[in-house]
Amino acid sequence: MQKLSDCFILANGVSIPCIGFGTWQIPDGDTVTQSILKAIEAGYRHIDTAAAYNNEKGVGRAIRSCGLKREELFITSKLWNTQRGYDKTLAAFEQTMSDLQLDYLDLYLIHWPANAKQSQDWQKINQATWRAFEKLYKDKRIRAIGLSNFLPHHLEPLLNQAEILPLVNQIEFHLGYTQRVVVDFCQLHHILIEAWSPLGQGKVLAEPELIRIADKYQKTPAQICIRWCLQGGILPLPKSTTSSRIRENTMVFDFELSAQEVQTINQLPHCWDSGFYPDKIDF
Ligand code: A2P
């Protein structure tokens, strides 16, 4: 990746801008609208939201007022856990479209897999949800469909039954929490990995080795984290409400980490993760 407008190409041929602007935990209303307008001004063309972030209306306002054509933007949203199943998924999608005030989505993800702790029928529930995703895709309401927080044992039964294969899996991925088994499985199956919390919510940025590499390139630790994702073929979704950081997080195209540095960061020990494990969550 050489510049912010460069894209990863999904297995169905759709282009997805290589850094997305994450909006998790950004409150609805002016805060999210202004953050997105700043991001678009800084050059982002890819916005990631979700029904559960409760900010889709503010995201939609930013999309309408930014002055760009709809097709110049790549918009992702996600289906929340209470809306799984065929009929509920179709209804939840319409609600998302109404909140965003859009007539198509670029990417729609199942936010979390149903898991065995929640229901004996978790596999059937994921399959019914996916069938609704396939219908929306075939109806051309969505340009690409995918998953979030799916581990290989959630993915395998879904892949066995799917008519249209998932194109993306968005997972927690940052220094010290690289979920290598999930990444390898998805890359083998041509499923693009997107990184949520690529900066470890800011909690991994004081890692001494990261600071050493950042100093070498006269970059910030956050910029090294983002560059490291890109060089690993992973699409980062950094989030910020601070103008200077929104810009800073795009300035990662004028240097390249060596293979040795990528390896060093890959191998840094666990230091922090969110604790949201897909088989343990009860929401
Ligand atoms: P803020 O929104 O106040 O700028 P992640 O994307 O991993 O979830 O991390 C988001 C957190 O990291 C937010 O608290 C955000 O704070 C902070 N953050 C975003 N960009 C940077 C940066 N370039 N340097 C330091 N902290 C950052």
In angstroms, the Cα distances linking 200 to 164, 185, 197, 217 are 32, 22, 5, 21
Nearest to 262 by CA among 234, 218, 228, 230: 228
pLDDT at 282: 87
| Cβ of 83 less than 6 Å from ligand 1 | no
280 Cα: distance to centroid of ligand 1 (angstroms)? 26
158 Cα: distance to centroid of ligand 1 (angstroms)? 34
211 Cα: distance to centroid of ligand 1 (angstroms)? 16
Could you give the domains of the chain?
10-205+235-240 (3.20.20.100)
pLDDT tens by residue, 235-273: 999 999 999 999 999 999 999 999 999 999 999 999 999
| Cβ of 222 less than 6 Å from ligand 1 | yes
Query: In 76-99, which positions are buried (b, 16+ CB within 10 angstroms) versus exposed (e)?
Result: bbbbbbebbbbebbbebbeebbeb
pLDDT at 62: 98
pLDDT tens by residue, 141-155: 999 999 999 999 999
Strand-pair category, 15-17 with 21-22 = unpaired
Does this model's pTM top 0.75? My answer is yes
What CA–CA distance (Å, rounded) separates 15 from 70?
A: 15
Question: Left, alpha or beta for 194 (phi > 0: left; psi -120 to 50: alpha)?
Answer: beta
By annotation, the residues acting in catalysis are 53
Reported residue count of the chain is 283
In the chain, % of residues over pLDDT 70: 100
